[in-house]
Amino acid sequence: MTTTDDTMSGEEHLSEDPSLTSEGAQSLAPRDVTAAVERMRELGAVLRMAESDAAGQVADGPVDDGLDAASIDETMIINLGPQHPSTHGVLRLMTELQGETVLRTKPIVGYLHTGMEWTGEELTYLQGCTNVTRMDYASPLFSELAFSLTVEKLLGVEIPERATWIRMLMTEMNRISSHLLFMATNGMDLGAVSMMLYGWREREETLRFLERVTGLRMNHNYIRPGGVAADLPDGWRDDVLRLLEMLPPRLDEYDTLLTGQPIWRERLQGVGVLTAEAAIALGATGPILRSTGYAWDLRRDMPYLAYDEVDFNVVVGTYGDCFDRYAIRLNEIRESIDIVAQILDRMPKGDYRVQDKKVTPPPRARINESMEALIHHFKIFTEGFKVPEGEAYCAVESPRGELGCYIVSDGSAHPYRMHIRGPSFVNLQTLPHLMHGGLIADAVAVISSVDPIMGEVDR
């Protein structure tokens, strides 16, 4: 087996004299006083092996990797995915098993890689949203929001109040639909297939509202630098009210169907446990971090848009297990419903995009009567607008955690570099640690509870 020297020395001490390792004191320290970061390396939860080597190992039979002596002839490496519905897209896991126990795991990603960061450099700032919206396809408005906020920071424009509140309304709706998707797939992954139908049904209702406003169910390209693409349609308030009325009783049905169910609880409680220290060390954000009892939500702690003006709770777990992550997402839907209700009362009147001729195309009606407006419209959609030189990072709390956008501008109409910090990409690193020591049957529960969206992982 080919691993780097570092890893070997980290694992060999399990069977050899600890004083011989190059890892210093960590192998000698008792488990309860070892820092979580060190313990993680000691566990060796991440399988470090090239794909080709693994293929050879599978053909050759048992793996000798310096685990304890009894396990040497019992471990085997199997592949999960990439083609399996429960791997949420095309995630492949190379898993080392000892009997039914998972030892080490290596997530293999990149099957959906289409070079979207590179594409982002080719598109203008105005077109950029059409690109980023396709990354996290379950919550596209958040990528658009992070991108738009970053561009606005570089431009130095302040968006109108109504645009801010429309953005909040739409992203909270999107959070609801994204979490409902999780409810559906999480149920399906664990055999509660009826849950899939219910989750999908409610998600579709939410998407119907998004479609009424943006014209599309997904990949909206609705939030753009300078505001939003269009004002809310007539009757939006009734649509929202209908949803606010319909959703809470349905969520209570989920409680009846899943939360209180002994089978459901047995299946999730104590499975895939993560400590707060490990989550922070691994850079995990969102429900995964909050499930460990660490109350960190960008909406409350580093407010963007107008989240400092609405009232909501940050839902945290206690044990950091799959059940906590499920319960957090379920209750975050309730909090989002609460936020949406407040937005309904607070929605201000005014412009839905900034009236800055540099950034905003002229309204459709003006184009028919004004030559200048036509030229302006043509110029802004063919050449785009120039953004001052500089670099900026903005982040929002997506349903999966901190979704950040880093843009470097060289003063032209295209980003010089556009980078998206996808929460799924970083959160995926918790998988080996969540699965380590668990049963292979629980692997699906763990993958599901991390809720990775592969479009965002691979970009």
Partner 1 sequence: MSDADPAAPDPVEAVEPERLHDVPVVGEAGARVLFPARDELVAVVTALFEDGFLMCLDLTAVDYLVHPGRSLPAGVSPERFELVVTLISHRERERIRLRVQVPTDDPSVPSLFDLHPGTEAMEREVFDMFGLTFTGHPDLTRILMPEDWVGHPLRKDYDSGRIPVQFKGAPTAP
> How many Å apart are CA 315 and CA 334, to the nearest integer?
10
Q: Which is nearer to partner 1, 451 or 458 (CB)?
A: 458
Q: Which residues bind partner 1 (CB under 8 A)?
A: 3-4, 6-7, 37, 40-41, 46, 48, 50-52, 109-110, 113, 115, 117-118, 152-158, 280-285, 296, 301-302, 388-393, 395, 402, 404, 406, 408, 410, 416-417, 419, 421, 425-426, 428-429, 458-459
Cα–Cα nearest to 253, from 241, 261, 243, 242: 261
Our CB check for partner 1 shows the closer of 95 and 177 to be: 95
Q: Residue 374 CB, nearest distance to partner 1 (Å)? A: 31
Give least dist CB 403 to partner 1, A. Answer: 11
Nearer CB in complex with partner 1: 385/406: 406
Contact call for residues 39 and 55 (beta carbons, < 8 A): no
By C-beta, is 126 or 281 nearer to partner 1? 281
Task: Name the burial class of residue 258, with classes exposed (0-12), middle (13-18) and buried (19+) by CB atoms within 10 angstroms of its CB.
Answer: buried
C-beta closer to partner 1: residue 82 or 248: 82
Please report how close the Cβ of residue 424 comes to partner 1 at its closest, in angstroms.
Answer: 11
Omega before 82 cis (within 30°)? yes
Q: How far is the CB of 451 from partner 1 (least distance, A)?
A: 17
3-state helix, strand, coil split of the chain in percent (to 5) is 50, 10, 35
The residue among 13 and 459 lying less far from partner 1, judged by its C-beta, is 459
Comparison of 187 and 423: residue with beta carbon closer to partner 1: 423
In the complex, least distance from residue 60 CB atom to partner 1, rounded to whole angstroms: 19
- Give the shortest CB-122-to-partner 1 separation in angstroms: 9
In DSSP notation, 80-148 reads E-SS-GGGSSS-EEEEEEETTEEEEEEEE--TT---HHHHHHHS-TTTHHHHHTTTSTTSHHHHHHHHH
The H or E element containing residue 392 is strand 390-398
- Closest approach of partner 1 to the CB of residue 356, in Å: 13
Q: Are 124 and 415 in contact (CB under 8 A)?
A: no
Q: How far apart are CA 382 and CA 377, in angstroms?
A: 9
Nearer Cβ to partner 1 (283/362): 283
The sign of the torsion formed by the CA atoms of 59, 60, 61, 65 equals: negative
Q: How far is the CB of 9 from partner 1 (least distance, A)?
A: 11
Tokens of 367: 């184009």
In whole angstroms, what is the distance from residue 137 CA to residue 375 CA?
34
- Exposed/middle/buried for residue 276 (C-beta within 10 Å: 0-12, 13-18, 19+): middle
The radius of gyration of the chain from alpha carbons, rounded to an integer in Å, stands at: 24
The Cα 123–Cα 315 span in angstroms is 38
> In this complex, which beta carbon is closest to partner 1, that of residue 332 or of residue 458?
458
Q: How far is the CB of 149 from partner 1 (least distance, A)?
A: 9
